[in-house]
Amino acid sequence: MRPEENLAKRLVWRHSLSPRIDVMHLASLYATVEVCRFPVDVDGVSLFLKNKQRRPHILVSEALSPRRQRFTLAHELGHVLIPWHLGSIVDETDLINSIERSTYWDLEGEANRFASELLIPTDWMQSIVASTSDAAASTRIVVESADVSIQAATVKLLNSLPAGYVFARVHAGEVTWSGNSIGTLASRVPYGPVDVDSLFPAAEQHSWAAGSDGYYHWWQLKDALPLPDIEEGDDWRLLLQQILDDIPLFDPNKLRSSIHGVIAAANGSVRENRSTERIYAVCLNRLEGRANDASGIQQVIKHALFSRFLVAKVRDFRV
């Protein structure tokens, strides 16, 4: 846990809080809080931070939805309480934008992680995860019980779930946001057009929750997969050539090198427990995660010889 998260955790403990957190009351203990209309596109402002002469002052935009207002207020409280945040700070706190944009250690990242830990305490989150059957169910409970946006709940889940979870938000047939739980060896699902049903058919579990900006899909991937029952002795080069011959719409050399690239990266990511079953699972997860791009990988996966090719290729990694 990082210092700003510890700070939020101690605050929750000191005030005996549990979700739903009354963030307005809490912030009022440490700063003068005002909800107001800004003439420009700003979500929140913190003034007079660590100023000996003046009490800190937080302004939050009335134009935000109630849940965004709660998150922004918690974020501004982070600026007030994190000791090295000084002066005045003007914020546009759109959560996903700021995650994509901010470097991990800058002030905005710190204030966001403070807000996330304050509104969705990790211990509480873990108890929700343990008591629900899938990630989408956890999402719905966190949104309702903690009174946070589905985006904030998703960010927290990405940081709380064990390795092996892949997330993608899909709106009008396109992936508009994606991520993996920490330690997951599969790649992030690329942004852009997608056929959701084709993604990760070998997953242990697929669940989804509806948000106003799309469907929030979660897959729990298997850590290892038994190899299909295929006899030894196949030459993967010949099999791949046969597959490529059957899908003439794609440049065979480009497609061959994308397949090799994905498999090499997958194999390289398995540093521990290098069993054939595990390497096979990671290769399959990575290829399936790329199945929505335009390079033809999806056609390769659908080909009748694909399993024989991948098994032969993975067996070749044995030492």
Residues that bind Zn ion (CB under 5 A): 91, 108, 111
Give 89 or 312: the residue with its C-beta nearer to Zn ion: 89
Give 49 or 175: the residue with its C-beta nearer to Zn ion: 49
* 8 A C-beta contact, residue 207 and residue 230: no
Name beta bridge partners: 44: 60, 91
Q: How far apart are CA 232 and CA 166, in angstroms?
A: 32
In the complex, minimum distance from the CB of residue 83 to Zn ion, in angstroms, rounded to a whole number: 15
For Zn ion, the nearest residue by Cβ is 91
In the complex, minimum distance from the CB of residue 110 to Zn ion, in angstroms, rounded to a whole number: 9
Q: Give residue 16's region: left, alpha or beta (phi > 0; psi -120 to 50).
A: left
Could you tell me which residues come within 8 angstroms of residue 47 by beta carbon, excluding any fewer than 6 positions away?
56, 57, 58, 59, 88
In the complex, minimum distance from the CB of residue 24 to Zn ion, in angstroms, rounded to a whole number: 18
Q: How far apart are CA 136 and CA 170, in angstroms?
A: 14
Place of tokens 């080069």: 237
Give 71 or 216: the residue with its C-beta nearer to Zn ion: 71
Place of tokens 């994905």: 262
Give 106 or 144: the residue with its C-beta nearer to Zn ion: 106
Give 91 or 147: the residue with its C-beta nearer to Zn ion: 91
In the complex, minimum distance from the CB of residue 71 to Zn ion, in angstroms, rounded to a whole number: 11
In the complex, minimum distance from the CB of residue 87 to Zn ion, in angstroms, rounded to a whole number: 12
In the complex, minimum distance from the CB of residue 207 to Zn ion, in angstroms, rounded to a whole number: 33
- Show the CA angle centred on residue 176, arms to residues 64 and 225, nearest 5°: 130
Give 111 or 312: the residue with its C-beta nearer to Zn ion: 111
Listed in sequence order, the DSSP H helices in the chain are 3-14, 23-30, 66-81, 95-101, 107-119, 122-131, 135-146, 150-160, 236-246, 252-269, 276-289, 297-302, 306-315
Give 87 or 228: the residue with its C-beta nearer to Zn ion: 87
In the complex, minimum distance from the CB of residue 37 to Zn ion, in angstroms, rounded to a whole number: 19
In the complex, minimum distance from the CB of residue 91 to Zn ion, in angstroms, rounded to a whole number: 4
Give 79 or 169: the residue with its C-beta nearer to Zn ion: 79
Concatenating the DSSP letter of every residue in 254-305 gives: HHHHHHHHHHHHHHHH--SS--HHHHHHHHHHHHHHTTTSTTSHHHHHHSTT
Count the alpha carbons within 13 Å of 124 in the hemisphere toward its beta carbon.
22
* 8 A C-beta contact, residue 77 and residue 26: yes
Q: How far apart are CA 34 and CA 19, in angstroms?
A: 23
In the complex, minimum distance from the CB of residue 53 to Zn ion, in angstroms, rounded to a whole number: 22
Q: How far apart are CA 247 and CA 260, in angstroms?
A: 17
Give 108 or 147: the residue with its C-beta nearer to Zn ion: 108
